Amino acid sequence: MFIKKFFNISTIIILVSAFLSFYSCNHSKADSSLDANPNTVKNYENYCAGCHGFQLEKFEKKEWMYGSNDDDLIESIVEGRPEMGMPGFKKTFTEEEVVALAEYIKEGIPDDLKENPGTQNNIHNTDELTYRVDTIVSGLEVPWGMEFLPNGDILISERSGTLYRFSDDKLYKISGLPEIFVKGQGGLMDIKLHPDYENNGWIYFSFSAPADEKNEEGGNTSIMRTRLKNDLLYDTEIIFNGEPDTNKSYHFGCKLAFDNDDYLFFGIGDRGHREFNPQTLTNHNGKIHRIHDDGSIPEDNPFVDNPEAMPSIYSYGHRNPQGTDIHPETNEVWISEHGPKGGDELNLIKPGLNYGWPVISYGINYDGTTFTDITHKEGMEQPVIHWTPSIAPCGMIFVRGDKYPGWENNILIGSLRYQYLERVVLEGEEVVHQEKLLQDIGRVRNVVQDPEGYVYVAIETPGKIVKLIPVE
């Protein structure tokens, strides 16, 4: 083992303690390791910030990221936490860099950064228009899905497994959810009303469902439909269960989108098994799926006649799609998906095609090592665009209606890592312009439009929902 070859854990802890003692005697809180060791900050930003936040803000809310003591912290950096999707960095950092990084993390967030205020300027000028940002809902944890009921109330799902109805500036908890596997990236995810909701009342949810009783640590992505009355869900039906379950707690997908023909599309990530799942049709993972609104399989799905394939598969070779929407004019399916370190993608999905993961990619492993040397291969699709470095795209819509002049049919995509909303302008299938909006607003988890056409954005840190209002 890298670190144990030179030091045992006790030695490392002694070094860390000595390092901390030196700083406590010689530096104030303001004169932090950011000033004393810029290489440490660079290492953190390059390898850690994408998941843990550039200001270490994610450490404030997830104690498992700290570990329970110095031993756990060192072990996490060196060996990783594979069940949570965190690689080990024993091949990436020297012993001294591990010690410095541990100290930097232990020091924590500077007091003046603990509460991310979001965007300070409420009026924003963009290439096409000016808009105002109003906070509509605050006090949330990790808001994941948003959907608007016909009366204007907002349904809000939190990854922790809580479902709210927001009405008249108050949050009302909704009961009746099935058991949810809440771990890592898993939990209660997206919400989508049936296109004919006013007549049939169906609401669709994606969530991570636990495996059977023999595997309490595992699960996979499921889809349910249900109805709502008096803040209680009823008539609940599980219409899709991803297979196989895994013990990994990341890469669940899963945004929902109905096309103009009422087909339901959604993506499931590779579930942490890239070596097998995405390129194999015998499982649901690493795929985009298409089903009828009752969970049945369309007869013209591309692999429906292949006895070895999962019949819901629409496309394959995907890593972790967390944005799905339908082009308002062409009815085509577009997705955004997470790459590893680099190689996030915007893809136009066509039936039966292979999108290449992990055979081709523009990314590398999180620890800086490579897993493929090729970005192109015959029979595998290229992304419309890719982002390197990764922006960690989450949530995606096409702008519909005329509320935002100049934005019609543009794509809005959230960035978890860099904390902004990106506007993507298309001409046909080609990206011709990109613009960053809401810079430093916080980790953007989702973006939707209400029935009037106004854009709402869910922010993960701090947990809130904001509304973009055009200003003349």
Please give the Cα distance from 49 to 66 (Å, whole number).
Answer: 14
Q: Annotated catalytic, 386? A: no
Please give the Cα distance from 69 to 326 (Å, whole number).
Answer: 47
Please give the Cα distance from 405 to 85 (Å, whole number).
Answer: 41
Beta-bridge mates of residue 222: 207, 241
How is residue 450 written in tokens?
């209400």
Residue with token string 């009405």: 167
Q: 73 with 102: CB under 8 angstroms? A: yes
How is residue 463 written in tokens?
């947990």
How is residue 366 written in tokens?
């999180």
Looking at residue 64, its amino acid is W
Cα distances (angstroms) measured from residue 396 to each of 111, 381, 455: 33, 20, 11
Q: Which among 52, 251, 292, 327 is annotated as catalytic?
A: 251
The DSSP secondary structure of 354-418, one letter per residue, reads B--TTTS-S-B-TTS--S-S-S--TTSPPPSEEESS---EEEEEE--SSSSTT-TT-EEEEETTT
**Short-list 148, 127, 126, 125, CA closest to 136:** 148
How is residue 427 written in tokens?
């001409």
The residues carrying an active-site annotation are 251
